[in-house]
Amino acid sequence: MMAESTHLAVGSRTRSKAERRATRIELFADVSCPFAYVGLRRLLEARDTRGSNARIRVRAWPLEWINGRQLAPQLVAAEIAAIREKVAPHLFAGFEPSRFPDSTIGALGLAAAAYGRDVQTGEQVSLRVREALFEEGRDITDDAELRSIGRAFGVEPMCRSVAADLVRADWERGQARSVRGSPHFFVGTRSWFCPSLRIRHEGSDFDISVDSSSLDDFYAAALG
């Protein structure tokens, strides 16, 4: 959820020269946040369109810890309905509120394990766990589901205690960087909180549109 906060590595390798030269983007987000899913999808698409070699490090921002509880499925369903109405009608096709996760720590840990392999795998798994939740309605709290997702990328899920330790390290890093909520992007010393969307809400009613000026500024800095 975008609302402000109140709201062992599997292998390694030497980074290539191209990776060392690439712009580094950090994204703090929860897997269960639909705004972060839209932002990540659009960033990856814009990177491909522009031919950028920017690397994206998706870090855990666990809303269930920050808010003291997981997001309510009915609230997320309302957010998704508003996103589909005006911004991205082609996304969230398989979202199933009855299988909304009561925790995302395992999925966040799987993404952290993927980054232990390499940045590209980390990016791919970070997107894939969100697709599994929002496009396929899969239960991402199920260890068998996480193993199935990870297997396609040669990544094994970590035990929950190790996953929680890695998630906590990202959370503490985000706190030190004054992360406002999910999604919050950083490029160098600059940052953007949910740059792709303009969101207004009263109670359970949402009005969501594309924030073009903020998005253009972010892409110029992140992708050139």
State pLDDT tens for residues 137-193: 999 999 999 999 999 999 999 999 999 999 999 999 999 999 999 999 999 999 999
Write the Ramachandran bin of 188: left for phi over 0, alpha for psi from -120 to 50, otherwise beta: left
Q: How far apart are CA 208 and CA 144, in angstroms?
A: 35
Q: Summarize pLDDT for 45-93 with one digit per residue, the tens.
A: 999 999 999 999 999 999 999 999 999 999 999 999 999 998 999 999 9
Residue 183, preceding peptide bond in cis (omega within 30° of 0):
yes
Q: Mean per-residue pLDDT for 90-99?
A: 96
**CATH classification code of 17-223:** 3.40.30.10
Cα 146 from chain centroid? 16
pLDDT at 200 over 60: yes
pLDDT of residue 12: 36
Cα 64 from chain centroid? 14
Listed in sequence order, the residues at least 6 apart from 97 whose beta carbon sits closer than 8 Å to its beta carbon are 73, 74, 76, 77
Distances (CA, A) of 215 to 114, 191, 211, 212, 218: 28, 12, 6, 5, 5
Please name every residue paired with 168 in a beta bridge, in sequence order, or none if there are none.
Answer: none
Q: How far apart are CA 88 and CA 82, in angstroms?
A: 9
Q: How far apart are CA 195 and CA 209, in angstroms?
A: 11
